[in-house]
Amino acid sequence: MRYEKGHKDETRQRIIEVAARQFRENGFAAAGVAGLMAEAGLTNGAFYAHFDSKEDLLRAVLADAYGRREQTLRNNLETGKGLEGTLRDYLSPRHRDDPGHGCPTAAMAAEIARHPKRTRDAFTGKVYSLVELMAAQIESGTAAERRRTAVALYGLMIGTLQLARAVNDRKLSDEILESGIDAALTLADG
Q: Would you say residue 2 has pLDDT above 70?
A: no
- 160 in Cβ contact with 176 (< 8 Å): yes
Over residues 123-181, the pLDDT tens digits come to 999 999 999 999 988 989 999 999 999 999 999 999 999 999 999 999 999 999 999 99
pLDDT of residue 129: 93
pTM of the entire structure? Answer: 0.88
71 vs 79: CA distance, rounded Å: 12
Kindly report the CA angle at 161 between 158 and 166, in degrees rounded to 5?
A: 120
User: By percentage, how much of the chain surpasses pLDDT 70?
Assistant: 97
- Domains defined along the chain, listed by start: 54-189 (1.10.357.10)
